[in-house]
Structure 1
Amino acid sequence: MRTVPLRRFYRGLLRQDDLVFDVGAHVGTRARAMRAAGARVVALEPQAPFTTFLRMTLPDDIRLVEAAAGGAETLAEMAVSSLHPTVSSLKAGFVEDAGATHGFDHVRWDRKQQVQVTTLDRLIAEEGLPRYIKIDVEGFELEVLSGLSQPVEMVSVEYLPGLSGLTQAVIDRLMELGPYRFNPVTGENGAFLWAEWRDATATRAWLDSLPATARSGDLYARLTGSELPG
């Protein structure tokens, strides 16, 4: 998503001084866009060299946590792609499953990195309850949410049409936490796909209907009864 549409999108999503967690910050594009929208941002990124770049370039008022999020505070081994580091993953079996999926056939995970893992509950204890959590962690979304024990007003996760079972499991977990409704953003469009937010059943059906060759994107979940700015 280009910088200007991304910032415009977040201005329509966030309010001034909203606390947000950016889980899987990568090079910080979304963290900066959320900060530009007025949010207070905590950015999580465990992977070198991204952490070095973020330490040097993020605004001082964005807190950088050099860790992944998961179900427990621990150390974990990340499968890393040297040529495509944004698809490095902590998810057990992701390399095998993704390697056989459209869009990942050119990716090779050729090394490992040990990373620190924290939990969303720990971050909440330190920072407070966020209004929004963005999660982009290459198949590890369910594990991230297993470390969250209370509903958050809004959550987004990356969805991969060729691995829709991962997103189906995320929907199940979110519905355990609270009454969520859903709306996807396809690719880098910077706009919601649906005019109205849909329930879990309709969202699952939509995911099941996607061909494996469809574009990936982000699935947003919003607690029933919550309102967007404006």
Structure 2
Amino acid sequence: MGLTVWMGLLRSLVIYHNPVTRAPLRRFYRDLLRPGDLAFDIGAHVGTRARAMRAAGARVVALEPQAPFSGFLRLTLPQDIRLVEAAAGAAEALAQMAVSSRHPTVSSLKSGFSETAGAAPGFEHVRWDSVQQVQVTTLDKLIAEEGLPRYIKIDVEGFELEVLSGLSQPVEMLSVEYLPGLPDLTFSVIERLLELGPYRFNPVRGESGAFLWDDWRDAASTKNWLRSLPSDAVSGDLYARLPD
């Protein structure tokens, strides 16, 4: 791999794999998860979320298809985290991932994502300059192997709907990345989640490790909030939870 690829890995480690980022996430997951919970980290990247889930006492399965991140995780993740060097999608397959060597966090399996995202605020300097062939599995297959998780985190740069298409039953709690400049992606995800169960929603802005709202809101309120965001607002995670 070229120097640009390794610089992309280093950039991600500096941004995400540092004490400033890790501390609020660990506090957040300690409140969110119980010891012994099963959690899936779909799009593990450098493993920050997977490690935080484990620190909360969860049993963690982490998926990451992209080199060199999968290799980094293979060498550095605790042995009790199961690493699957694959993506998740609607069906088991081989797929082509559009890769940004300098900004590897936005590499994506979503068809047309590079063209759509490239025109959105915040992506002006991103170039998807190579392609990787990756293995794709499904959430249903992981559940058949590991059991039903209490929580699934999904951060896959626009491919969230395809990941959820490979899930045929409700899970107590999930989170997906939202991009203010591309709200239609999140609207589609919300509709898919409602097909699975009566979910309610709460966002976390950026890496803050705190819910934005004091209450969990319905889909209509959540969509209205997303529509109100400036296109250049900070992205984050939208959490979905089944009623108690």
Q: Give the structure-2-normalised TM-score.
A: 0.91
Q: How many residue pairs are counted as aligned between the two chains?
A: 225
**C-alpha separation between the residues in 1 aligned to 2:235 and 2:66?**
22
Select which of 132, 140, 160 maps to 1:113: 132
**C-alpha separation between the residues in 1 aligned to 2:164 and 2:226?**
19
Q: Structure 1: which amino acid aligns with 2:169?
A: Q
**C-alpha separation between the residues in 1 aligned to 2:197 and 2:111?**
27
Secondary structure, counterpart of 1:12 in structure 2: helix
Structure 1: gaps (5+ residues): 226-230
Select which of 40, 51, 65 maps to 2:70: 51
**Structure 2 equivalent of residue 210 of structure 1:** 229
How far residue 213 of structure 1 moved from its aligned partner, in angstroms, is 1.0
**Structure 2 equivalent of residue 96 of structure 1:** 115
How far residue 179 of structure 1 moved from its aligned partner, in angstroms, is 0.4
Structure 2: gaps (5+ residues): 1-19
Q: CA RMSD in A?
A: 0.6
Secondary structure, counterpart of 1:104 in structure 2: coil
Correspondence list, 1:21-170, <5 A: 21-170=40-189
**C-alpha separation between the residues in 1 aligned to 2:53 and 2:122?**
28
More helix by share: 2
**C-alpha separation between the residues in 2 aligned to 1:46 and 1:3?**
22
Select which of 187, 190, 193 maps to 2:212: 193
**C-alpha separation between the residues in 2 aligned to 1:59 and 1:189?**
24
Q: Structure 1: which amino acid aligns with 2:157?
A: E
How far residue 189 of structure 1 moved from its aligned partner, in angstroms, is 1.2
How far residue 86 of structure 1 moved from its aligned partner, in angstroms, is 1.1
**C-alpha separation between the residues in 1 aligned to 2:149 and 2:38?**
5
**C-alpha separation between the residues in 2 aligned to 1:23 and 1:190?**
18
Q: What percentage of aligned pairs have identical amino acids?
A: 79
Post-superposition CA distance 1:181-203 (Å, at most 9, x none): 00000111110000000001100
Secondary structure, counterpart of 1:161 in structure 2: coil
How far residue 211 of structure 1 moved from its aligned partner, in angstroms, is 1.1
**C-alpha separation between the residues in 1 aligned to 2:204 and 2:152?**
15
Select which of 177, 193, 197 maps to 1:178: 197
